[in-house]
Structure 1
Amino acid sequence: MFTSVRTLLFPDYCTACEIPLRSGEKFLCTSCRHQVPETNLHLYNDATIKKVFYGRLNLQLATSLFYFEKKGPIQKLMHGLKYKGKEHIGQVLGEWLGTSLATLPEYKKIDVVIPVPLHPKKMKKRGYNQVSAFAKALSTHLNAQYNDTVLVKSKNTQTQVFKGRFTRSDEVLNAFSITETQRLAGKHILLVDDIITTGATIEACGIELLKIPKITLSIATMAIAR
């Protein structure tokens, strides 16, 4: 009763089309939710993302929840998550993808989920890592360990979205490091980020993680640019 009255007096709005949300809707109205371009890459064992990293990273599994399109609903979700303090969007998207991944035997073999880290200066400014809630939800659904300490960002870089591949590669080169190499030896690691554009950030992180002996590396993201 109270929730219904509150919703009537102080409605939340759809992140994509900005109409008031109805009871039971979160972040996206039903209409926009049906329009978001899910990839379902993991359901079909699709190699689209692996091809992005061919010759750059040896990946066991790779998936993304949505296709990213400029001015589409996913761009608005990402903007709200990163720049408008809507950290909880990450958890919702993690629940969305995690529920699906948990049905697949190959993803149940993942031991550790690691988010791409923020530099401490950016973390202080934003107040949270936009990938953390997403990664935590995935780890819960996969019954895997969550680890946000082994991989760190040691160089503060500018935002990388939509930069050219080579410019972006130069920006993130040696921007990440690992704190130790033994505790996760032999584990199947799922590296998690928000969006794949050129893949340079994940590549830089993956190269560092592969310094850990005998790991298996997979990736999952909220979105991938078409």
Structure 2
Amino acid sequence: MNLKRSYLSDFVSLLFPELCAACHETLLANEHLICTSCLYNLPYTNFHLQPDNIVARQFWGKIPIEAAYTLFYFAKGGNVQNLMHQFKYKGMQQIGHLLGKMAGEQLIKNDIFNTVDFIIPVPLHKKRMQQRGYNQSTCFAEGLAEKLTGTVDDQNLIRLKATETQTHKSRFERFENMLEVFEVKKPEKLLNKHVLLVDDVITTGSTLEACGTCLLKIPGLKLSIATIAYAE
């Protein structure tokens, strides 16, 4: 019976081969979601080894953070963009979990991230959530939680209103667009806790700054930030 299943699986793979979510080449039998070549050659930042990295510097003088990190550099037309497209728009939630575990394996080497109490994803508005069916930042957070000690809390920080597209706005306009968008439902739960705020891609950091500003109203809260990719 197992032999028959193996033959059937091989036949199905010939007709419908699984493709790497990054380069779209056919995956080998022992590969999952991302091929070995891409796993080795993706543009890792290694920001877990650089306390004053580019992402951390985006928040200097704006909000106090313990540490900031991103897994990849993002370039248009590159393999990271392919990954993010499959993840956000093609329903491949498992990519987010995998990338979260990959990021977590780096972050456990950094003492600051080992003190995280809660991992909080940037929330989607309920209308966007209904359209997409899942929050990509929550998928990433769940992968991180498999490696870090923090617990995922995706119910406490909420988005009160939908916002306009940020694509063609300046950094100030983006931040202004996010004012009074977020709210913490149970701030007492986060008193004196270390929160890791996570999102998929960071560009100007305005969304993360707005979320962070909201969270940092809570007494004693320490804030760190992690994303999948950094787009210059």
Q: TM-score, normalised by structure 1?
A: 0.93
Out of 191, 197, 201, which is 2:197 matched to? 191
Other-structure match for 1:124: 130
* Structure 2 CA distance for partners of 1:212 and 1:127, relative to 1, 3 Å: same
Instruction: Work out whether 1:90 is the aligned partner of 2:90.
Output: no
Which position in structure 2 is the counterpart of 1:53? 59
Residue 149 (structure 1) aligned with residue 145 (structure 2): no
Task: Give the CA deviation at 1:136.
Answer: 1.2
Residue 121 of structure 2 corresponds to which residue in structure 1? 115
Greater shift in the superposed pair: 107-116 or 17-26: 17-26
TM-superposed CA distance for 1:3, in Å, is 4.7
Q: What is the identity, as a one-letter code, of the residue corresponding to 1:151?
A: L
Question: Is 2:210 aligned against 1:219?
Answer: no
Greater Cα offset, 186-195 or 166-175: 166-175
Match of 2:107 among 101, 105, 108: 101
2:41 counterpart residue number: 35
Distance 1:144 1:210 in 2: 18
Paired residues in the alignment total: 226
Structure with more of its chain in helix, by fraction: 2
Counterpart selection for 2:73 from 67, 85, 98: 67
Q: Determine if the alignment matches structure 1 residue 25 to structure 2 residue 31.
A: yes
Match for residue 145 of structure 2? Answer: 139
The range that moved more, 155-164 or 75-84, is 155-164
CA distance in 1, matches of 2:36, 2:185: 43
Residues in 1 aligned to 2:54 and 2:26: alpha-carbon distance in whole angstroms: 36
Maintained 8 Å contact 1:161/1:197? no
> Matched residue of 1:17: which SS?
coil
The structure 2 residue matched to 1:178, chosen from 184, 198, 202, is: 184
SS at match of 1:131: helix
* Partners of 1:135 and 1:146 within 8 A in 2: yes
**Partners of 1:144 and 1:18 in 2: CA distance:** 34
Shift of 1:15: 2.3
Deviates more, 1:115-124 or 1:151-160: 151-160
Task: Give the distance between the partners of 1:45 and 1:168, measured in 2 at CA.
Answer: 26
Equivalence for 2:3: none
Identity %: 45
Give the CA deviation at 1:162: 6.1
Q: Deviations over 1:13-63 (max 9, x none)?
A: 122332211122233323333331100111233432221111111110110
**Larger Rg, first or second structure (1 or 2):** 2
Is 1:81 the counterpart of 2:87? The answer is yes
- 1-side partners of 2:167 and 2:42: how far apart? 20
Give 2:182's aligned amino acid. F
Report the Cα distance in structure 2 between the residues aligned to 1:97 and 1:210, rounded to whole angstroms. Answer: 24
CA contact (8 A) 1:112 1:146 kept: yes
- Which position in structure 2 is the counterpart of 1:203? 209
**Separation in 2, partners of 1:212, 1:102:** 26
Q: Which runs of 4+ in 1 moved over 6 A?
A: none
Does the 8 Å contact 2:178/2:207 carry over to 1? yes
- Measured in 2, the distance between the counterparts of 1:123 and 1:25 equals 31
CA distance 1:105–1:4, change in 2 (3 Å): farther
- For structure 1, the 5+ residue unaligned runs are none
1:4 deviates by 4.3
Residues in 2 aligned to 1:74 and 1:36: alpha-carbon distance in whole angstroms = 7
